[in-house]
Amino acid sequence: MQIRVHRRGSRAAALAAIVSGAIACVSLSGCNSLYSAGATAGAGIAGAAVANSVTSNAAVATGIGLGAVAAARAGVQYTQRVAHTYSQDQIATVAGPLAVGAVAPWKAVHSVPIEDDEKGRVTVSRTISSGVLECKEIVFSVDRDATKDRPADSAFYVASVCRDGNKWKWASAEPATPRWGALQ
């Protein structure tokens, strides 16, 4: 009987640690690595707690734990894709109406701070196609302001945007790979 009470107490403590860690992380801007590591660790703890209460078979417990970690990683990757799509949509919305050679500022302010808010400039370098399939090649920067520890800098990327009805949408994969990795 005491073992069950102890398990419930440790599960409650683990759950409280996970929830408080998630709240702390969401309150901080740009805590993507903490978010990713925390989600994986939280899934491992939760998986261990579930496995411990369900079975004493080590193989089944391992399967439950690995499944929980895989689900957590998939969730983290999904939220990262949502954040990246939002940034891409902000850039495409600004770039779409621009004439070749025109420059305009863009900004992405994330409602959930798993990624840093970003800003920069975008220009249309050329029109790829017009008419029914209207697409443009763009060059955009991601500008970082100076801080005490580092000078201001800009990174530049090339991408394509196309009109989709009344909206302009991101249309390229490879040019942004160094920026967003495989999680477009």
User: In which domain, by residue range, is 75 found?
Assistant: 2-82
Tell whether 106 and 176 lie within a shared domain: yes
pLDDT at 135: 94
Most trustworthy range by pLDDT among 30-34, 54-58, 103-107, 149-153: 103-107
Tell whether 17 and 53 lie within a shared domain: yes
Tell whether 59 and 41 lie within a shared domain: yes
Of the residues 28, 51, 82, the one at which a domain ends: 82
pLDDT at 111: 79
Tell whether 89 and 176 lie within a shared domain: yes
Tell whether 93 and 78 lie within a shared domain: no
Tell whether 104 and 77 lie within a shared domain: no
Domain count, the chain: 2
For the stretch 117-148, pLDDT in tens is 899 999 999 999 888 889 999 999 999 999 89
- E-assigned strands of 21-149? 103-108, 118-129, 135-144
For strands 167-170 and 153-164, give the pairing: antiparallel
Note whether 14 and 51 are within 8 A (CB). no
Tell whether 119 and 55 lie within a shared domain: no
* Buried b / exposed e along 40-57 (16+ C-beta atoms within 10 A): bebbebbbbbbbeeeeee
For the stretch 63-106, pLDDT in tens is 767 777 777 777 777 777 777 788 899 999 999 999 999 999 99
Tell whether 109 and 126 lie within a shared domain: yes
Note whether 124 and 99 are within 8 A (CB). yes
Tell whether 48 and 125 lie within a shared domain: no
Tell whether 69 and 94 lie within a shared domain: no
Structure tokens at 41: 């660790």
Residue-averaged pLDDT of the chain: 73
pTM value is 0.61
Tell whether 98 and 157 lie within a shared domain: yes
Of the residues 82, 113, 144, the one at which a domain ends: 82
Of the residues 82, 114, 143, the one at which a domain ends: 82
